Copies of this chain bind each other. A is one copy, B any other.
């Protein structure tokens, strides 16, 4: 069966501020040494499985120029611009409608655009197996990440080890982000994987589930599908999206659906959740510093320094994140990286939107 991909690139992530901004979110940044942006890597990674012309990018109108610029080989008609953000369920539904309209039915690989994967070949093999499972029925398939600690920042998925289709394990349930104690229990039980946000299914399978679980959304998606290719296409898209309830695919579908399978992967997944991730992605020097830009460091250790042309001189600095951009500079103790959002709150309150 035809394989397609839907890469979700509408996010406005703030955790890489001040490098990431409303007009330049994380997925369009390069955080690795190869100079490629995360969305470029996401596309490149799946090319062994999916032809370029079958890759869809879901985003919003503001980011369309960035997508065109960074992914010139993706056909323009495959860039699906949501008129307003309504979370992942309408986004994925829209993708499924386009795939259905073009191919009747096809496998859809749904991927975030802002995650990194270290071992591409293992990932591609896992994804290929997942496609095989998805083709075999009406099931929904997801990739789970083997936890390496009691993380409280991810959703978890409980599987039933006794029920499997090849490498795929039957999912018992999706659970939202746990507290630390619960996360420890999950880890100890060895029956939970992290929710990676990556899904594999036939377009018909996910649309069937949306029809049953989110009937209003389904009805709107049907009207959008009927208008595709007509001169009412944009008008209908806008009207229906405006009316959609904001709903995540996890909560709206996955937590309620039956017949879900999960394939676990150890392919070096990283959701690059904050500047701290840069230490995992880039090589550090002999003093434990990860340095980019025009930097002179004296007695400086275990720090992340990301600059541009301006000279950054550091003296006796330890355990610090320093990010310098044209109009904003961040200096953040690593142990307080979670508080970067307080800076953004402050800027919002003061209506200093030029820095967001």
Contact = CB atoms under 8 A, between A and B. Distances in A.
Contacts of A219: none
Contacts of A331: 312-315, 317, 320, 322, 331
Contact of A336 (B307, B315, B322, B333): B315
A322 B317 CA distance: 11
A328 interface: yes
A342 interface: yes
Contacts of A330: 313, 315
Of A299, A310, A347, chain B has the most CB atoms within 10 Å of the CB of A310
A343 B330 CA distance: 21
Q: Is the interface of A mostly helix, strand, loop or mixed?
A: strand
B335 A310 contact: no
A316 B340 CA distance: 9
A253 interface: no
Contacts of A299: 336, 339
Interface in A324-342: 324, 327-333, 335-337, 339-340, 342
Stoichiometry (number of copies): 2
B314 A355 contact: no
B343 A329 contact: no
A346 interface: yes
B339 A298 contact: yes
Interface in A266-311: 296, 298-299, 307, 310-311
Contact of A314 (B298, B327, B332, B352): B332
Given A296-B347, A316-B333, A317-B333, A311 B339 contact: no
A340 B311 contact: no
A25 interface: no
A18 interface: yes
A344 to B, nearest CB: 9
B343 A298 contact: yes
Minimum-distance CB pairs A-B, first 6: A316-B336, A316-B333, A315-B332, A311-B328, A313-B343, A298-B342
8 contacts: A313-B329, A313-B343, A315-B337, A315-B340, A316-B332, A316-B335, A318-B333, A322-B331
